[in-house]
Amino acid sequence: MTDVTITITDREGVTHEVLAPTDMNMNLMEVVRSFELAPEGTIGVCGGMAMCASCQCYIESDHALPEKGDEEEAMLSEAFFVQENSRLGCQIHITPELDGLKITLAPEE
Amino acid sequence: MIKTDILIIGAGPTGLFAVFEAGLLQLRCHIIDALPQPGGQLAEIYPKKPIYDIPGFPEVLAGDLVDNLMEQIKPFQPGFTLGERAETIQKLEDGSFIVTTNKGTQHHAPIIAIAGGLGSFEPRKPLIPNIHQFEDKGVAYFIRNPDVYRNKKVVIAGGGDSALDWSIFLAHIAAEVTLIHRRNEFRGALDSVEKVQELKKLGKINLITPAEVVGLKGIDQLEAAIVQMDDKTEVTIETDAFIPLFGLSPKLGPIADWGLEIEKNAIKVDNTLDYQTNIPGIYAIGDVNTYPGKLKLILCGFHEATLMCQSAYQRIHPNKRYVMKYTTVGGIHGFDGSVKEAPKAVVKAIE
């Protein structure tokens, strides 16, 4: 399987270009953790259940992402620093369509 | 002063299972947890969600796993200090420890096992600039005693079960209840959503959605909340109380100041031996610890709890010899006098 390139700006404002596998059932939050772009314990706190907002990120490229599910909508409606382009990284699976995606991690709550 | 052999901090699955392993070694345990109920994350965040990697359970609901662990440790009569957060630790001359909670409850034990998971759960506070100024002066993140809101005007914010449930409850005793949420949809039990709908129709709950509290006003005491509507217009609502209920998030908290070696928001332990920290007599097990190759899995926490108890036994009884015994062989001898044993094989001649 192929890897996709994703550009991630961390909470310190540093931009990283990373290769994410499409065949490991990974999501965006897990990609950030696997490259240690945010300290452990500050991202993916609930483990990826859309039950915290620690993996909130802003989508900065015009990729067509899958629609938000009810749980993601509900969590984002109670999260802080939410913008129009906010998503929960844990709800975005890494697929070939995401090649070239650009995101910025939201501040820690 | 509460006295015990092993003082466990954190009533999640790892802390609960440690009671069982300690009990097999005739060691008594007491557990402190900041939440009002045992179970940690499993009970607080995802009680109704399934877990698939507990050995021997193809599928088990998180809440059921907690219930099972409570049943399993019952014979060993653990003590609980719930709804209190372990705040300070003091080492005595004999090497034992006194741990004091935020409410002043003191616990004395020769062994401390920190099974604190991601930390203690604390309320998520909305980003309103002057909110701290009104804490305990109208702003509360928990409702401890609902009676203080009798005949008062109350503004509640949030979209989950606690916001719904408290709105319903307070609608009957408060002078006025306003529920504010950023969207029209609520995430809660269907019953609660319908009940709020009904109370809204009856004029008992003033529902404002989609909207958000963006400011607070008052001199000493809270007097009004500024609410921003979807179209960015603002309205001011007079109120005596503002209760934001945005759920809880875990923080390592005071444990971080106990002189333990911390790395990646977790406590470093010796994984080659017994999960002891840099302070002899203090262990860290489960999600709260870190070591090379650490995985935050419940099953790893169970393993760590088991080895920790063997080491604790040796610290408490340095001159006693002991070898591990299988429960199938030794059975379970509870401190409550209960005995569980494998049935004896029947030996009978065939004529």
pTM (two decimals): 0.85
Q: Which of B120, B184, B265 to mutate to test the interface with A (most CBs of A within 10 A)?
A: B265
For chain B, the domains span 2-121+249-340, 131-246
Least CA distance to A47: which residue of chain B? Answer: B296
Q: What is the pLDDT of residue A1?
A: 60
Q: Is A21 exposed, middle or buried (0-12, 13-18, 19+ CB in 10 A)?
A: middle
What is the fold, at CATH topology level, of the domain defined by B131-246?
FAD/NAD(P)-binding domain (3.50.50)
Min Cα–Cα distance to chain A from B158, Å:
7
> Higher-confidence residue: A45 or B86?
B86
Mutate to test the interface with A, among B187, B190, B228, B267 (most CBs of A within 10 A): B187
* Chain B residues in contact with A39 (beta carbon < 8 A): 264-265
Residue by residue, DSSP assigns B98-146 as EEEETT--EEEESEEEE--TT-EEEEPPP--TTGGGGBTTTB-SS-S-G
Which of B158, B187, B264 is the closest to A39 by Cβ? B264
Per-chain mean pLDDT for chain A? 93
B50 with B321: CB under 8 angstroms? no
What's residue B60's pLDDT? 98
Three-state DSSP state, B72: helix
Q: Give the architecture (CATH level 2) of B2-121+249-340.
A: 3-Layer(bba) Sandwich (3.50)
Distance CA B302, CA B13 (A): 8
Tell which residue, A47, A89, A91, A53, has the closest CA to residue A69.
A91
- CA neighbours closer than 13 Å in the CB half-sphere of residue B267: 31
Q: Residue B225 burial (CB < 10 Å; 0-12/13-18/19+)?
A: buried
Q: Give this complex's ipTM.
A: 0.81
Domain boundaries in chain A?
3-105
Per-residue pLDDT of chain B (351 residues; tens, 9 = 90+): 999 999 999 999 999 999 999 999 999 999 999 999 999 999 988 898 999 999 999 999 999 999 999 999 999 999 999 999 999 999 999 999 999 999 999 999 999 999 999 888 888 899 999 999 999 999 999 888 899 999 999 999 999 889 999 999 999 999 999 999 999 999 888 899 999 999 999 999 999 999 999 999 999 999 999 999 999 999 999 999 999 999 888 888 899 999 999 998 899 999 999 999 999 999 999 999 999 999 999 999 999 999 999 999 999 999 998 888 899 999 999 999 999 998 888 888 888
**Cis bond before residue B146 (omega within 30° of 0):** no
Dig out the tokens for B216 from the structure.
């607070």
Which residue's structure tokens are 């390592």?
B252
List all residues 6 or more positions away from B323 whose beta carbon is below 8 Å from its beta carbon: none
Asked if A49 and B127 come within 8 Å (Cβ–Cβ), the reply is no
pLDDT at B167: 97
Angle of CA points B250, B169, B85, to nearest 5°: 25
Residue B302 CA: distances (Å) to CA of A8, A41, B37, B62, B263: 36, 21, 20, 15, 22
| Residue B247, pLDDT score | 85
State the pLDDT at residue B32: 98
Residue with tokens 């009104």: B134
Q: Determine the distance in angstroms separating the CA of A108 from the nearest CA of chain B, rounded to an integer.
A: 12
* Cα–Cα distance measured from residue B187 to residue A72, given in angstroms and rounded to the nearest whole number: 11
How far is the C-alpha of B244 from the C-alpha of B221, rounded, in Å? 17
Average pLDDT score over residue span A77-105: 95
> Considering Cα of B56, then B8, then B38, then B140, what sign does the dihedral take?
negative
B-contacting residues of A 48-87, CB under 8 Å? Answer: 49, 51-52, 54, 70-71, 73-74, 77-78, 80-81
Q: Give the best residue of A78, A86, A109 to mutate against chain B (max B CB count within 10 A).
A: A78
Inter-chain contact A77–B181, Cβ cutoff 8 Å?
yes
Rounded CA separation A104/A8 (Å): 6
Q: A23-42 pLDDT, tens per residue? A: 989 999 999 999 999 998 89
Query: What CATH number labels A3-105?
Result: 3.10.20.30
Find chain A residues with C-beta within 8 A of B118's C-beta.
41, 45
